[in-house]
Every structure is written in structure tokens, then in C-alpha cells.
């Protein structure tokens, strides 16, 4: 069996240089080498085995995660990994853990909201993991509405302390990852009260557990909130509940970068603009978009490989059956997801650039692009995470019955992924923010304020309201300009239609509330345009490697024409295309599927995922699916014995009609 490759024929078909594509996917040769090296390091280390993950009871699962986290840290130190390498190592361990929050939220919060002095004190401790921190914002009663948080931090000038308190049940912190069983510290968001006045929500560094025996400190009630979706999935994380009974912290543990409380209890704003805080948000969201492309590509890799292995129907004269990947319905469900993985990858890359750009501007006190950057990251976070969650489940269905087994990897991938639609901003709430930005942009058209960045097409509103698609034959839809104008016109017209309808309301807020569903559709149209346009920009770059650019063009066409077909109502309804042009787009889409087909396996190989990372029998690199499925089944605890535990008590009396006297 060793060395077998059931997908070898598929791999031979590729019309492009897979190694070059790997570099495009990774972002650079450096990134390719980094991810390749670290992912293999993890895959080859038995200390990071995923074996049995979906079968462990919660406590064992969690304990194993603690072990992995400690072991990872040990390896990081032993191998002297850089921060970049360490981050990759944690990614490829591929299991939610308290360290995600420590590195991903606690430290960034200290950096973003702490004064220099606070950073000097706390960061070294955090960097060495002498303290472990989490991000405690959400409460039982408030998530989306952060301004509604109920936890209080009341300043007591007598002792120069804040009193952190949970006045109600609903004010209990609820959800923070790493909080339940591990964190020694938290950045706690609480209403700042001083001098009898409520100054709204601010962050505070609060110690929760003893650094000696790990016991919760007096006044601190803390625990895990219980089982979440899926088997292993997110249950390796101790999302926690926390409440305070008048817990006192020194005044200097208020995060004071943008506002302070003096010894006398006076509230003062620093001269550092509040907007600086948005930089962090842009950063976090860009990483969520890039994670979306990771999750989507993993699911697609599994479904694509299995679709080439799986054969069903269509055998002629006793020959082999048809590979299910050759069915047009399968392609129509799968290939747009493959295209989305690439599209999200590129828009994620661009967001990294945007983050740098925003950071530089902020440093130079230029806040002009912030609203646009904010809307665009919010919208892309929402768009890509929703599409990815749906996409993973579609990939599972594409694998038929076998996709329902944990050993397919897809149930876990789904269960662990879906909260991305909720955390860091509920996806609908985010699109409503985008919609607000769109309406504001439109209301300012003609006032001389020029729309910038991703919204600059609104500057050509007059043209976009009138133009018509000039597509005459299917191939015309391959022209980037044709596609781009279509998405611009659709988005502009949907926004303008909303603005018109809004203007009929006396009260704008009431209008916004009433038309919210339409506004969300307009926001989605705008975000889809961003993804399409960034993909098209990417294609204007020089992309080396035989056939690589051509493949990316095919994928770009599939991504955009699939959306055009799916949302045909928008394109037709706004009058930009005719129904004939819509059908031509669909014809072209089918043709692109046929072009993609021979390259499908190689396009997912280009993700360069190890079998360890995929953790899917259906998605194995070698396609050796059936023997491995069969083998894996026998590992289930139920198969430890021929006769089921419970046979004597419950099955035998049933069969023997002896239930009357049985103890059940």
C-alpha cells in the first residue's frame, strides 16, 4: 500500500506548474517555505497527533489540549522559533486552545490600549507566558451591543483602586476563550464609574487566579460554560463564565492609552485619538478573512479529492463508473467554492496591505480612509465567513454519506468554523454597518467629498446608473471589464434604490430599520464587488509559472459568473443585463467548469496541506480512501468487544421477552 497514489492520473492532467501555484497561494516564497516547513514539523511529531480527537470525553480532550499547548511552547523554546514560526506552529496544531486568545486577543489588547508604561510591565510577563490572559468582553446579556455591558469598575479614591463588580446575573462574563479553566489574567471590559458618573466601557487588567496554586482569587467566580457544537471541535477551548464580587484592582490596571482616571478620580481623555483603536480591529478582521480562505480551502481540498476517487453510476460495458467530479451538478457546487477559496485568499492578502496602509496613516494623524477601511473590513469579514461556513457544509454534502463520518474531517471543520460568523461582530450586524456607510457615501455624492478606496466607483455613479452590458456572446463575459462594470453597476444601483426608498421616510432611522433587509442585500453586493475587483487587480500583476495565471483567470471567471448567476435577480432587476446576457454568462460558466476540471486536483494540491492538517480520510493525498475508512471504523470504542456493553441488561431481555422483570 505504501507509495500508492490513486490520484496520480489526475495529477498528470494538470496544465500548470503546481509548485509555482503553491507560492502564489502561500503569498511568497518565504511564506511557502515557512508554512511548508512548520506544517511538516507538526505533522511528523507524534506529540501533535490528532488521533481519537472526536472520541474523547470532554475532560480528556481538554487535558490533551493543555498537554499540546505546553508541549508546543516547549518546542518553540527548544527550536528557538521566531514569533512568526511560533504562530504557524500553533496554526498547524489545529486545535482551538487558550493560547489563541492569549496571543491573539490579550496581548494585542495590551498593546493597543495600554500606555507605554503598562506595556513595559505586562508584555514581558505575557510574552514569556508567566501569566496567561484572555479577552473578557461579552456577557450573558450583551454581545453585539458592547456599550450595553453591565459589569462595573467603580473608582475608589480612598484606596486608589477600582472595584470590579457584577451587579446582575446577566452581567456575568460569558464566552471568553481561555477564561474558564486556564487564564490567570483577563482584560475585562467594564463600565468605568468615577465621581458617581458613568463614562462608558473601558478595559481593565484583572488577575483571576493565583499564580501559585491556580485557585480563583477571592471574589472571583469562574468556570467553563459547557459543551459546544461538535465532538472535538471548539470543546478543546475553555470558553468561560466569570463574575465578580467587589474585586479590587490598583488604579494603574485600567488600560489608559486613550483615557485615564487620576488619583483624585478625575476622568481625562488623553491626546491620543480614539480612532487609533480601530487599527487593531482592522488587523483582527483581516486575519479572520485569511482564516476563511484557509477553512474553505481545506474543505474544498477534501471534497475535490474525494469526488475524484468516488465513482457512482455510468459504468458502460462493465467498465469503471463515472467519477462524481465529472457530474456537472457536482462541479456547479464544488468549483465555485474552489474559486472562492482563491478569491478569499487574494482579498485577504490585499487586506494585509490595507492594514499597513491604515496604520501608517494613523501614525501620521490621517483618519480620512478610516471609515472606508472600517466598512470594508467589516463587510469582508461578514461575507467571507458566511460563505465559508456554508461552503464547508456543502463540501460535506458533496461527499455523500461518508461526509457524515467524523473521519471525513468535515463535521469537525464545520463545527469549529461556524462561530466565525458570530464572533468579532455578528455577520448581519456588520453588514448593517456597511449599509450605513453606503448610504452616507451616497448622501455625500455631489457635496465634493470624493469617495475613496473600495467605494470610489460611486464617484462614477451617473455612468453606472445608465450603462448597459455590451456582452453579445458567452466569451465576452471573460473580459474583466465586462464583469467589473456589471458588479459595480449592480452594487451602485442597489444602494441608490435603497437611498431613494429611505428618502420616502420622514424619520431616517425608522426608514433604515424598516428597509434593513434590503440594505443588507446592497451591502453584500458591495462586498462581492470588492472581492471580484481585488481578484481582477491581482490578475493584472505579473504572475510567473507555466499556466498559473491562466488557471487563476479561470477561477476568477468562475467566482464572478457564479455569483452573477446566483444573484441574477439583482443584475436583471437593476436593468444592467438582459436575461439573454444572463444565459450567456451561465453558458460561459459551464465552459469554465470544463476548463477547470482536469486541473482540479492540482489546484487543491497547491494548498500544500499535509494529511495531518486535513485530518480527513476522504481528503487523503493518496486517495486511498476505502481501506483507510474500513480500518478507522474498528477503532471506535464500541468495537472493543463483539457484544455491546448493555447486551445483558437491555438487549437480551428484550429478545427473550423478559422485560417485565428487568431493571431499566
Ligand X SMILES: Cc1cc2nc3c(=O)[nH]c(=O)nc-3n(C[C@H](O)[C@H](O)[C@H](O)COP(=O)(O)OP(=O)(O)OC[C@H]3O[C@@H](n4cnc5c(N)ncnc54)[C@H](O)[C@@H]3O)c2cc1C
Kindly identify the residues of this chain, within the stretch 48-77, that bind its own copies according to CB under 8 A: 54-59, 62-63, 66-67, 69-71, 73-74, 77
Q: Which of 121, 228, 248, 352 binds its own copies (CB under 8 A)?
A: 228
423 binds ligand X (CB under 6 A): yes
Residue nearest to ligand X (CB): 143
Q: What does 182 bind: its own copies, ligand X, none (CB cut-off 5 to 8 Å by kind)?
A: its own copies
Rounded to whole angstroms, the Cα distance separating 56 from 35 reads 29
Does 201 bind ligand X (CB under 6 A)? Our answer is: no
Interaction between residue 222 and ligand X (CB under 6 A): no
Is 138 marked as binding a ligand?
Answer: yes
Residue among 234, 437, 559, 576 that touches ligand X (CB under 6 A): 234
Q: Cβ distance 546 to 573 under 8 Å?
A: no
As a dihedral over the C-alpha atoms of residue 654, residue 656, residue 657, residue 663, rounded to 10 degrees, the angle is: -60
Query: For 599, how many CA atoms within 13 A lie in the half-sphere containing its CB?
Result: 25
Using CB under 8 A as the criterion, what x/- string covers residues 332-351 for binding its own copies? xx------------------
The residues near 6 (Cβ < 8 Å, ≥ 6 apart) are: 309, 622, 623, 624, 625
* Nearest-approach distance from CB 454 to ligand X, in angstroms: 23
Q: Does position 172 bind ligand X by CB under 6 A?
A: no
Tell me the three cell numbers of residue 117: 508604561
Q: How far is the CB of 622 from ligand X (least distance, A)?
A: 19
Q: Note whether 194 binds ligand X by CB under 6 A.
A: no
In whole angstroms, give the CA distance from residue 24 to residue 116.
39
Phi-psi region of 52 (alpha: psi -120 to 50; beta: other; left: phi over 0): left
424 is catalytic: yes
Burial class (CB in 10 A: 0-12, 13-18, 19+), 476: middle
The piece of 30-38, 79-87, 276-284, 419-427 that touches ligand X (CB under 6 A) is 419-427
Give which of its own copies, ligand X, none residue 569 binds (C-beta under 5 to 8 Å, depending on kind).
Answer: its own copies
Distance, in Å, from the CA atom of 198 to the CA atom of 152, rounded to the nearest integer, reads 9
Q: How far is the CB of 303 from ligand X (least distance, A)?
A: 9
Residue 407 binds to its own copies (criterion: CB under 8 A): yes
Total residues contacting ligand X by CB under 6 A comes to: 31
329 binding its own copies? (CB under 8 A): yes
> CB of residue 647 vs ligand X: minimum separation in angstroms?
21
Considering only residues 421 to 440 of the shown chain, the ones binding its own copies according to CB under 8 A are 421-423, 426-428, 432
Site size toward its own copies, by CB under 8 A = 141
CB of 636 to its own copies, least distance (A): 4
| Contact yes or no for 535/561 (Cβ under 8 A) | no
Tell me: does residue 498 bind its own copies (CB under 8 A).
Answer: no
Give the Cα separation of 338 and 270 in Å (integer): 48
The residue from 424, 485, 488, 553 that is catalytic is 424
Judged by beta carbon distances under 5 to 8 A according to partner kind, the member of ligand X, its own copies, none in contact with residue 411 is: its own copies
Q: How far apart are CA 357 and CA 364, in angstroms?
A: 11
Question: Which residues within the stretch 123-142 sit at the binding site for its own copies (CB under 8 A)?
Answer: 128-132, 138, 140-142
The single residue among 312, 360, 444, 503 that binds its own copies, judged by CB under 8 A, is 312
At closest approach, how far in Å is the CB of 220 from ligand X?
17
Given ligand X, its own copies, none, residue 137, with its beta carbon under 5 to 8 Å by kind, binds ligand X
Give the C-alpha separation, 89 to 281, whole Å: 24
DSSP 217: P
Q: How many CA atoms lie within 13 A of 427 on its CB side?
A: 20
The grid coordinates of residue 489 equal 453597476
Is 177 part of any known ligand binding site?
yes
In the bound state with its own copies, the residue whose beta carbon lies nearer, of 154 and 586, is: 586
**Chain center to CA of 189:** 23
Location of C-alpha cell 421616510: 505
Q: State the binding partner of 633 from ligand X, its own copies, none, CB within 5 to 8 A by kind.
A: its own copies
**Residue 409 burial (C-beta neighbours within 10 Å; 0-12, 13-18, 19+):** buried
Of these, 82, 83, 130, 144, which contacts ligand X (CB under 6 A)? 144
Q: Under rule CB under 6 A, which residues in 608-637 are in contact with ligand X?
A: none
CA separation for the pair 60, 637 (Å, rounded):
15
Query: What is the C-alpha to C-alpha distance for residues 470 and 468, in angstroms, rounded to an integer?
Result: 6
148 binds its own copies, rule: CB under 8 A: yes
Q: Contact, 314 vs 322, CB < 8 A?
A: yes
| Non-local CB neighbours of 573 within 8 Å, separated by 6+ positions | none
Minimum CB separation of residue 646 from its own copies in Å reads 4
**Least distance CB 325 / its own copies (angstroms):** 13
Place of cell 491573539: 104
Q: Does 507 bind its own copies (CB under 8 A)?
A: no
Backbone angles phi, psi at 183, to 5 degrees: -55, 140
Question: Active-site positions?
Answer: 424
**Which stretches of the chain bind ligand X, using CB under 6 A?**
101, 135-138, 143-144, 175-177, 234, 239, 310, 312-313, 324, 327, 329-330, 398, 400-402, 404, 419, 422-423, 426, 428-429, 432
Amino acid at each position: 500500500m505504501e507509495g500508492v497514489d490513486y490520484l496520480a492520473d489526475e495529477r498528470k492532467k494538470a496544465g500548470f506548474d503546481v509548485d509555482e501555484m503553491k507560492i502564489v497561494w502561500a503569498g511568497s516564497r518565504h511564506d511557502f517555505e515557512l508554512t511548508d516547513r512548520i506544517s511538516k514539523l507538526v505533522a511528523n511529531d507524534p506529540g501533535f497527533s490528532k488521533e481519537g480527537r472526536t472520541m474523547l470525553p470532554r475532560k480528556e480532550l481538554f487535558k490533551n489540549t493543555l498537554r499540546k499547548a505546553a508541549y508546543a511552547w516547549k518546542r518553540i523554546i527548544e527550536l528557538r522559533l521566531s514569533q512568526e514560526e511560533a504562530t504557524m506552529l500553533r496554526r498547524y496544531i489545529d486545535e482551538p486552545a487558550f493560547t489563541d486568545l492569549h496571543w491573539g486577543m490579550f496581548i494585542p489588547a495590551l498593546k493597543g490600549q495600554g500606555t507605554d508604561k503598562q506595556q513595559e510591565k505586562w508584555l514581558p510577563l505575557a510574552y514569556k507566558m508567566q501569566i496567561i490572559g484572555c479577552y473578557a468582553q461579552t456577557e450573558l446579556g450583551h454581545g453585539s451591543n458592547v456599550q450595553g455591558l453591565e459589569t462595573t469598575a467603580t473608582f475608589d479614591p480612598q484606596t486608589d483602586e477600582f472595584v470590579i463588580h457584577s451587579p446582575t446575573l446577566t452581567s456575568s462574563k460569558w464566552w471568553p476563550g481561555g477564561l474558564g479553566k486556564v487564564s490567570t489574567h483577563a482584560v475585562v471590559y467594564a463600565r468605568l464609574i468615577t465621581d458617581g458618573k458613568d463614562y462608558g466601557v473601558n478595559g481593565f487588567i484583572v488577575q483571576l487566579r493565583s499564580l501559585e496554586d491556580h485557585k480563583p482569587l477571592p471574589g472571583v467566580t469562574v468556570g467553563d460554560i459547557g459543551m459546544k457544537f461538535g465532538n472535538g471541535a471548539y470543546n478543546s477551548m475553555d470558553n468561560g463564565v466569570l463574575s465578580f464580587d467587589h474585586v479590587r484592582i490598583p488604579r494603574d490596571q485600567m488600560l489608559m492609552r486613550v483615557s485615564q482616571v487620576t488619583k483624585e478620580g478625575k476622568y481625562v481623555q488623553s491626546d491620543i485619538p480614539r480612532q487609533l483603536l480601530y487599527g487593531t480591529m482592522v488587523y483582527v478582521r483581516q486575519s479572520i478573512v485569511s482564516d476563511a480562505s484557509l477553512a474553505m480551502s481545506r474543505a474544498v481540498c477534501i471534497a475535490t479529492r474525494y469526488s475524484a476517487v468516488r465513482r457512482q453510476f455510468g459504468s458502460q460495458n462493465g467498465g469503471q463508473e463515472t467519477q462524481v467530479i465529472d457530474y456537472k451538478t457536482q462541479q456547479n457546487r464544488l468549483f465555485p467554492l474552489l474559486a472562492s477559496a482563491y478569491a478569499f485568499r487574494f482579498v485577504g492578502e490585499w487586506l494585509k496591505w490595507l492594514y499597513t496602509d491604515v496604520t501608517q496613516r494613523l501614525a501620521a494623524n490621517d483618519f480620512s480612509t478610516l471609515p472606508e477601511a472600517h466598512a470594508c473590513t467589516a463587510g469582508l469579514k461578514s461575507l467571507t465567513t458566511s460563505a465559508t461556513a456554508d461552503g464547508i457544509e456543502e463540501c460535506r454534502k458533496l461527499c455523500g454519506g461518508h461526509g457524515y463520518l467524523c473521519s471525513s474531517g468535515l463535521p469537525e471543520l464545520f463545527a469549529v468554523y461556524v462561530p466565525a460568523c458570530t464572533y468579532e461582530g455578528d455577520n448581519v450586524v456588520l453588514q448593517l454597518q456597511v449599509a450605513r456607510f453606503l448610504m452616507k457615501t451616497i448622501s455625500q455624492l455631489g457635496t465634493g467629498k470624493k469617495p475613496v478606496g473600495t467605494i470610489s466607483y460611486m464617484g462614477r455613479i451617473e455612468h453606472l446608473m445608465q450603462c448597459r452590458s455590451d456582452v453579445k456572446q458567452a466569451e465576452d463575459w471573460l473580459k474583466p471589464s465586462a464583469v467589473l462594470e456589471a458588479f459595480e453597476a449592480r452594487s451602485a444601483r442597489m444602494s441608490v434604490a435603497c437611498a431613494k426608498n429611505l428618502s420616502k421616510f420622514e424619520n431616517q432611522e425608522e426608514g433604515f430599520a424598516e428597509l434593513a433587509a434590503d440594505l443588507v442585500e446592497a451591502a453584500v453586493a458591495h462586498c462581492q464587488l470588492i472581492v471580484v475587483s481585488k481578484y481582477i487587480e491581482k490578475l493584472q500583476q505579473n504572475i510567473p509559472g507555466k499556466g498559473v495565471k491562466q488557471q487563476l483567470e479561470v477561477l476568477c471567471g468562475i467566482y464572478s459568473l457564479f455569483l452573477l448567476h446566483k444573484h441574477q435577480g439583482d443584475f436583471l432587476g437593476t436593468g444592467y443585463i438582459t436575461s439573454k446576457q444572463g444565459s450567456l454568462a451561465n453558458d460561459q460558466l459551464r465552459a469554465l467548469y470544463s476548463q477547470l476540471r482536469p486541473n482540479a486536483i492540482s489546484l487543491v494540491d497547491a494548498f500544500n496541506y499535509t494529511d495531518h492538517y486535513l485530518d480527513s480520510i476522504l481528503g487523503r493525498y493518496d486517495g486511498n480512501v476505502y481501506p483507510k475508512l474500513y480500518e478507522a471504523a474498528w477503532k471506535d470504542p464500541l468495537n472493543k468487544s463483539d457484544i455491546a456493553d448493555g447486551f445483558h441488561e437491555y438487549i437480551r431481555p428484550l429478545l427473550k421477552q423478559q422485560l417485565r422483570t428487568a431493571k431499566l
